[in-house]
Structure 1
């Protein structure tokens, strides 16, 4: 069994048993409370017959990464994931992003046949990996300091015979140094990233980061359509990545008959390193810097690698703004989309593409689904904060914008007398 979950008392007894002064084990307890999975006896490997439950973890050899179960903030869904040990919120891989364990506990098992399975209490098994053929050799699963979780078959001398499965071959939204982004021609698969649905649901969202082996460039797609491109790799960098990213990475392209892919390494080693694509289409680094500055990709602008997707009925300076208020033709939405795989970005794009759409927002509390206001006439902003906000189309510059500004000024004046 894993070493996580000893709790404060367990750490206290271990240290007190060593005869150390109270202030030493007090500091130890504080550190253990912050990093409850990093205690004596930590392991990095599962062997056939081993299990991992919600209070046990794997820790990579140098402690860089942790593998275990987690549940996003304010949800009852449980996922198997890998994260930076010193930052639990930096999750770099999710094993069951399409099949969460709901309202119960779960156990990860590795059997003698080499099958990885999540077993929810009282629920159906969730397979992570099933081998195509059974082997009689030793099988182990190890979490590496690269962040890769590797299932391998060993020879009789203990050396690796072959890799059966690895998490780097099934990326979610994060590209770590050394991970491949590209195409595997041998098994006709791809290495690509897909964003989370939103900040609490790891299910695949609307944005994907891919490698274009013919164009030798990275591509961000929104629902399959090009949203941003990096430009061709030239003079050891990409044309349209952010200036702060240029000079920070070494980029390598590999192309042969079996595979075509791109990967990067950090010029400066150390610290948390990784790229992730957010649910709103931004490509970030874990040091909080941008790799792709896609916030300017509004559908009209084509600077910086952005692709045009704005319909002809919209103008380049139109924008949506989050505001509370109501339309003159009534507060009720004109239409709904109950699809729970739709994100706020999907709602925005749908409203952009629907000429006459004046506003949108999410339908459900988890910020999925869409509500639209179409041809509702003039919008009156409410500054009291009582009315739930919408994302309202603000044409700029326009006479409507001038009238809106005048109306807001008048409302502020009237509110000052309440």
Structure 2
């Protein structure tokens, strides 16, 4: 009978030890630290936490990586304070902070939570987020006292926020590694600009290197058309915060967004059955994505031999070698005639582009596009307008003033937006004439092809080839003469 209490105590201790073992799978407690050589694994076996080195470096860092792709480190704690030996320990200190200790028990890194946590526990979640919470409270996000998702390194994971806490003023952004083997903070950052309509941009120090178009309610302009197949972009704006994030569309596909040491933003995907990442895209993709490549009031066309062209209604205001100017983005385009609201002016639609940067602008969310045109027409310094929101049938009025900077003609795989640029009426007539000429050429070619098909069907192959070559030359000469005469007549009629 006396052995019964001992049996009860033994069972209690055994159950307690099992509980501690289960916690040890993905958690850190004051009694269960992580030493160099040990790791934690999230419950879904997706992420792993521990110490690592890169390349030939002996520096040791505490971080998180994909379990089946250990080279893919997604977060690093002590980027500025590497350990130089194998005696590092990550544990929870007396006041409840997560701390990294060196061999002499000095704190190398800390979560720096000011409020004391009674029953602190740190847990590696299936999302890749390392959270510090009170083990006695509920496990919802409101109970987190600290989380690694609030302190990104060079990688944006699904569910991680890139943006601003508007109450505290804290900004979350990506910072590149210094080199492929050195995770200390590098030269480049990737951030959310919340000045006006938000956009994403890459910066070197305080200098903007590349940017997306503004958020239009559906996507960031000038980004690849991959949405709804791999990930869904989300922009959240309320009184407390404004941030960009993305979520997975298909849970069998993993995707990450990284900022590499050269300043490129890259998106990768990995399928469940694989352990290798495939790059979906990298930006800047070409020279046109370098910020302001062609200077003010110009459009950059990467597929043209001369990549920079002045917008219609503008002409080059810079003398010198245009090829050098195009290469370094120093070209300046000025209006052919000054906008003064005293002469006939209209708006020329430029479709499917990356919208210019919001340097001087005005946003009126309550207006539709027709009202926006009228509002822009009344203001002599309004140089362009467009919809601010493309969701539904489109809404909102976005107006630009002064120079238009960083416009790109986008290839088909990129998502662009329309803008309407203020020009003299003569420019609208010129555009209309060019479109008529193009339609006439197409109509002539189609008609000739149809007639010839029936006329020479009985000829032998060699005779058909000789006849078609001669006919094409005659059509080209005659059409060119006709269009020149037609153009001269139109110009004469306009000037009269």
TM over 0.5: yes
Q: Which residue of 2 aligns with 1:251?
A: 233
Query: Which of 209, 221, 243 matches 2:203?
Result: 221
> C-alpha distance in 1, partners of 2:259/2:92?
31
- For residues 13-412 of structure 1, the aligned pairs below 5 Å read 43-122=25-104, 124-136=106-118, 138-155=119-136, 162-213=143-194, 214-234=196-216, 236-244=218-226, 247-287=229-269, 288-296=279-287, 297=289, 301=293, 303=300, 315-317=325-327
> C-alpha distance in 2, partners of 1:258/1:176?
22
**Does the 8 A contact of 1:240 with 1:292 survive in 2?**
no
- Residues 68 and 142 (structure 1 numbering): CA distance in 2 closer, same or farther, change over 3 Å? same
**Does the 8 A contact of 2:260 with 2:266 survive in 1?**
yes
Provide, for residues 289-331 of structure 1, a one-character-per-residue CA deviation record: whole Å limited to 9, x for no partner. 21533453457735499xx9xxx9964447xxxxxxxxxxxxx
In the superposition, the TM-score normalised over structure 1's length comes to: 0.60
> C-alpha distance in 2, partners of 1:158/1:250?
26
Q: Which residue of 1 aligns with 2:393?
A: none
Shift of 1:197: 0.8
Structure label with greater radius of gyration: 2
Provide the alpha-carbon RMSD of the alignment: 3.0
**Does the 8 A contact of 1:237 with 1:246 survive in 2?**
no
> C-alpha distance in 2, partners of 1:298/1:238?
17
- Residues 157 and 85 (structure 1 numbering): CA distance in 2 closer, same or farther, change over 3 Å? closer
Shift of 1:118: 1.3
- Residues 284 and 246 (structure 1 numbering): CA distance in 2 closer, same or farther, change over 3 Å? farther
Unaligned runs of 5+ in 1: 1-39, 319-418
Shift of 1:178: 0.8
Q: Secondary structure at the match of 2:126?
A: coil
Task: Say which is worse superposed, 77-86 or 235-244, in terms of deviation.
Answer: 235-244
Shift of 1:68: 0.5
Shift of 1:69: 0.4
Q: Which residue of 2 aligns with 1:397?
A: none
**Does the 8 A contact of 2:163 with 2:191 survive in 1?**
yes
Provide, for residues 125-180 of structure 1, a one-character-per-residue CA deviation record: whole Å limited to 9, x for no partner. 212213313233x2111101111000012436788872110000000100011111
Task: Say which is worse superposed, 213-222 or 150-159, in terms of deviation.
Answer: 150-159
Q: Secondary structure at the match of 1:168?
A: helix
Unaligned runs of 5+ in 2: 1-21, 270-278, 295-299, 303-307, 309-319, 329-496
In the superposition, the TM-score normalised over structure 2's length comes to: 0.51
**Does the 8 A contact of 1:64 with 1:145 survive in 2?**
yes
Q: Which residue of 1 aligns with 2:12?
A: none
**Does the 8 A contact of 2:29 with 2:91 survive in 1?**
no
- Residues 300 and 68 (structure 1 numbering): CA distance in 2 closer, same or farther, change over 3 Å? same
Higher helix fraction: Structure 1 or Structure 2? Answer: 2
> C-alpha distance in 2, partners of 1:217/1:161?
28
> C-alpha distance in 2, partners of 1:100/1:277?
21
> C-alpha distance in 1, partners of 2:62/2:239?
34
- Residues 201 and 301 (structure 1 numbering): CA distance in 2 closer, same or farther, change over 3 Å? same
> C-alpha distance in 2, partners of 1:175/1:285?
10
**Does the 8 A contact of 2:210 with 2:290 survive in 1?**
no
**Does the 8 A contact of 1:84 with 1:272 survive in 2?**
no
